[in-house]
């Protein structure tokens, strides 16, 4: 039995942030009913991250909406609206990620739903919260990254560099999930419902807690990234990624003089004071870069790993997926849609009592479960 079995989630969310939260709730055993508008449904159905089409819709929708049911409803039609209200009466959790003001106009704000279901856990994600000059800005991942300062932590000195994943969306979804799970525990003790609010901006600010704390305690000095081989804006040498004769090598922390001995790079032996690993990191990284280019990744790993230097091959997906280290994790699962279409995607990374949380159910067709949900939960 999965931990959240018997928990019913009514999901109004779209795109990535809140759907990533309801995906995790579904993985943990909750029943997630995705309420979608007629004809178009979740806009993410046609939001392509590439030209990959999976059974007529985007790969991103297929990935983030597996293991859910789809209920089609036009919230501008009173009869459809009443059906959704009846569904919410029986729900444990309600989730949305509309911009501030939209959910109130639809009639599904917290105060309204609390009257319908006082024990309901109400979860919401916004871009920037409900106050301040940014409250109406679109909560899109790249835009939030750009405003948050995180783009000045990535890449080498020079242009701002965004993180190449929808990191703000996924972090926001994870934070919402944590709040919902805490609220489920609270309800077990009190019987009361809870409103859980998360913003994308707060999520990405919190993600930078180490660097922001440093900023506040080093006199507010501007962030200065290394000129080359950067993997962290603040950490000293050798921290970074370096090209080798046949690939790339990641180096984490390590004594610079010791590295000099291992790599036969005598120029590094003079950096005995660890403060220089910060103040002169650009010069040190230049020496490391020129040295590591002289031989293969495998050669350097054969020297560095036995010496307990933290290092790793920088793998592409095709190499990773063939490696035993990846295969033993069994991270890829096959899921099947209602029409029989099958596709591969990742599984939930959580293991409980030694068991992985897998599910063979793919993403739903628009409105696929409307009739069965009406008969089971609304007309009974």
pLDDT tens digits, 188-232: 999 999 999 999 999 999 999 999 999 999 877 788 999 999 999
Distance of CA 6 to the CA centre of its chain: 26
Question: pTM for the full model?
Answer: 0.95
Distance of CA 207 to the CA centre of its chain: 11
pLDDT tens across 110-142, in order? 999 999 999 999 999 999 999 999 999 999 999
Measuring CA to CA, how many Å separate 292 from each of 248, 251, 280, 296?
9, 11, 19, 8
Q: pLDDT value at position 103? A: 96
Q: pLDDT value at position 219? A: 78
Reported confidence tier of residue 60, pLDDT bands at 50, 70, 90: very high
Determine the Cα–Cα distance for residues 119 and 116; give it in Å rounded to an integer: 9
Q: Is the pLDDT of residue 380 over 80?
A: no
């Amino acid at each position: 039995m999965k931990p959240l079995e018997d928990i019913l989630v009514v999901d109004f969310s779209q795109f990535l942030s809140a759907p990533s939260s309801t995906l995790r709730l579904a993985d943990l055993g909750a029943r997630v009913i995705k309420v979608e508008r007629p004809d178009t449904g979740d806009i993410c159905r046609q939001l392509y991250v590439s030209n990959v089409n999976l059974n007529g819709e985007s790969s991103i929708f297929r990935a983030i909406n597996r293991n859910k049911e789809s209920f089609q409803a036009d919230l501008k039609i009173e009869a459809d609206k009443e059906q959704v209200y009846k569904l919410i009466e029986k729900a444990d959790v309600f989730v949305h990620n509309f911009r501030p003001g939209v959910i109130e106009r639809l009639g599904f704000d917290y105060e309204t739903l609390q009257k319908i279901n006082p024990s309901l856990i109400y979860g919401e994600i916004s871009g920037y919260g409900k106050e301040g000059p940014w409250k109406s800005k679109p909560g899109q991942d790249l835009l939030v990254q750009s405003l948050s300062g995180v783009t000045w932590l990535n890449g080498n000195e020079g242009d701002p560099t965004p993180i190449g994943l929808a990191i703000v969306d996924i972090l926001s979804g994870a934070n919402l999930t944590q709040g919902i799970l805490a609220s489920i525990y609270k309800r077990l003790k009190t019987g009361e419902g809870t409103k859980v609010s998360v913003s994308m901006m707060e999520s990405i600010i919190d993600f930078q807690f180490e660097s922001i704390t440093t900023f506040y305690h080093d006199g507010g000095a501007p962030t200065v990234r290394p000129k080359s081989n950067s993997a962290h804006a603040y950490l000293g040498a050798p921290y970074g990624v370096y090209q080798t004769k046949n690939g790339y090598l990641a180096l984490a922390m390590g004594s610079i003089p010791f590295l000099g001995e291992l790599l036969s790079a005598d120029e590094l032996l003079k950096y005995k004071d660890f403060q220089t690993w910060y103040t002169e990191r650009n010069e040190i990284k230049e020496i490391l870069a020129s040295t590591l280019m002289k031989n293969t990744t495998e050669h350097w790993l054969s020297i560095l790993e036995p010496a307990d230097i933290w290092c790793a091959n920088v793998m592409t997906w095709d190499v990773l997926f063939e490696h035993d280290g990846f295969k033993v994790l069994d991270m890829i699962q096959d899921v099947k849609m209602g029409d029989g279409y099958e596709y591969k995607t990742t599984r939930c990374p959580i293991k409980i009592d030694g068991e992985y949380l897998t599910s063979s159910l793919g993403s739903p067709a628009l409105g696929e479960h409307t009739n069965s949900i009406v008969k089971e939960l609304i007309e009974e």
